[in-house]
Structure formats: C-alpha cells, structure tokens
C-alpha cells in the first residue's frame, strides 16, 4: 500500500515537472520557428529586390549600349556620306582629268608630228631624183632643198630624204662629193617622201614651169608617184638647244 502511494507521488511529480518545463520549451521552439520564417521571408524579399535591381541594371546597360550603338551608327553614316562625296568628287574630277589628259595627249601627238619625233604614215607622193649623164646634171644639195621647200609650201606634213626625216633643224648640204642630210651621208638616187594631200602635192610639183620642169631642164631625171600609204620614220638624231631658251 505504501509502495503504491510512493509510485503515485513520483508520477505526479514527473507530470508536474513536464508541465512546468514544457511551456518555455514550446515558447523557445515557437520563437525559433518564427525567427527562421522571418529570415527565410527576408531572404526571399532580398532576393526578389536584388532581381529587380539586376533587371534595372540590365535595362540601363542595354539603354547605354543602344545609345552607344546609335552614336557609332551615326558616325559611320557620316563617314560613309563623306566617302560618297569624295568618290563623286573623284569621279567628276576623273572625268575632267580624262578630258584634260585627252586634250594634252592630242597636243603632244601634234607636236610630235611637227617635231618629227614619231613614225608616221599616210597618203602622199614619192619623188625620186637621179643624176644626169653629164657632170652638169648631177643632183646637188640645192636641188634637194628646192624640192623640200616646195613640198612644205604645198602642205606636206612630213618629209624624208633617203629615210632621213626632215625637221626644222635638218641640214641638207654638200660635203665634198656627197650630200649630207642630218649629218648623214646620202647618195643618188634621192628618194624624197612627202605625206599630205597626194593630189594637191602632185599638182604643186608638176605644175608648168614648176620644180619638176626646172629639174628636168638641168638634165636631172625626176620620177613622181602618188601613194596611198607612205611610211616615214621618226627623226633619230639629237634634239638640243645650246643657246636658245624660252622667252619670258
């Protein structure tokens, strides 16, 4: 009996102990749970706000990038427009330059023809002078010069004597028993080529009492032929002026 009373007392004491100590425990557990929930909520809120901040930063960066790209595009467009203007100016200038170059080339070609520094060909006549049978009927430098001068007056554009091109400084003269043209010895027969209006040149040379009649009177044999394609070589001597210079 006494033992049962003792057991009941112990049981009651244990229950009282549990009741006494369970309330703080529950409170501690509740506080801990509340703090954990608060921390989780705060973290979630922070993460949400961070995401919004990140989104804002990305939008700002994208806006800055867009502005930068727009600026680069504008600069490239401006450079492109400048390049286009340069190309158009070059094309216009090139067309003008081509016209100028063409005009200059034409002038150079004309001057080259006049100076005798280029090979030429075209229609004209060929006059050949042969020595006569007597000593008084030999071809002299004056006879060759007479033919050259008459051809020039008749409008010959190019003349040669035995393939020596006649230019403004050409010398035709007797040296001993031979004739020199451009300081080169030439001998009879003297083949004189002239490029120009073939019909007019022939008429000028064969006119009555003209050059051919005069030479025939000296006993010099003269032949003349009209040709459609005569070739005259360029002057291959030196072209230099030692004393003459361009006037100012």
pLDDT tier at 50, thresholds 50, 70, 90:
very low
In this prediction, residues 151-164 reach a mean pLDDT of 96
Report pLDDT for 23.
Answer: 46
Buried (b) or exposed (e) across 40-55, using 16+ Cβ within 10 A? eeeeeeeeeeeeeeee
Whether pLDDT at 198 is above 80: yes
Three-state DSSP class for 228?
strand
What is the CB neighbour count within 10 angstroms for residue 149?
A: 12
Report pLDDT for 26.
Answer: 45
Which tokens go with 44?
A: 């979630």
Provide DSSP, 134-147: SGGG---HHHHHHH
Report pLDDT for 156.
Answer: 96
Q: Which residue is associated with the tokens 């010895």?
A: 185
Q: Structural domain boundaries of the chain?
A: 1-115, 119-232
pLDDT digits (tens, 9 = 90+) for 118-149: 999 999 999 999 999 888 899 999 999 999 99
User: What pTM was estimated for this model as a whole?
Assistant: 0.61
Nearest to residue 193, comparing CAs of 129, 118, 110, 109?
129
Strand partners, 191: 128
pLDDT digits (tens, 9 = 90+) for 17-30: 444 444 444 444 44
In this prediction, residues 5-14 reach a mean pLDDT of 50
pLDDT digits (tens, 9 = 90+) for 80-99: 667 677 777 766 766 677 77
Report pLDDT for 90.
Answer: 67
**Edge-to-edge, what's the strand order for the sheet holding 178-181?**
172-175, 178-181, 184-186
Q: Are 171 and 180 in contact (CB under 8 A)?
A: yes
Please state, rounded to an integer, the average pLDDT across all residues of the chain.
77
Long-range contacts, 58-63 (Cβ 8 Å, 24+): none
Q: Which CATH class is domain 119-232?
A: alpha beta
């Amino acid at each position: 009996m006494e033992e049962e009373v003792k057991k009941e007392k112990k049981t009651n004491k244990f229950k009282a102990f549990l009741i006494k100590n369970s309330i703080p425990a529950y409170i501690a557990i509740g506080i801990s749970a509340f703090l954990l929930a608060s921390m989780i909520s705060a973290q979630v809120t922070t993460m949400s706000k961070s995401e919004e901040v990140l989104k804002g930063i990305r939008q700002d960066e994208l806006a800055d990038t867009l502005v930068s790209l727009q600026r680069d595009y504008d600069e490239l467009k401006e450079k492109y427009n400048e390049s286009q203007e340069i190309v158009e100016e070059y094309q216009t200038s090139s067309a003008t330059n081509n016209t100028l170059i063409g005009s200059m080339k034409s002038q150079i070609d004309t001057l080259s023809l006049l100076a005798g520094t280029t090979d030429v060909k075209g229609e004209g006549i060929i006059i050949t002078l042969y020595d006569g049978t007597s000593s008084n009927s030999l071809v002299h430098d004056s006879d060759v010069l007479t033919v050259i001068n008459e051809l020039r007056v008749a409008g010959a554009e190019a003349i040669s004597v035995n393939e020596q091109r006649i230019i403004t400084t050409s010398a035709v003269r007797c040296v001993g028993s031979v004739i020199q043209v451009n300081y080169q010895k030439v001998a009879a027969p003297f083949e004189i080529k002239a490029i120009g209006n073939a019909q007019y040149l022939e008429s000028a040379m064969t006119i009555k009492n003209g050059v051919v009649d005069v030479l025939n009177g000296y006993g010099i044999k003269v032949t003349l032929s009209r040709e459609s394609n005569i070739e005259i070589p360029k002057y291959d001597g030196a072209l230099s002026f030692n004393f003459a210079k361009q006037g100012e």
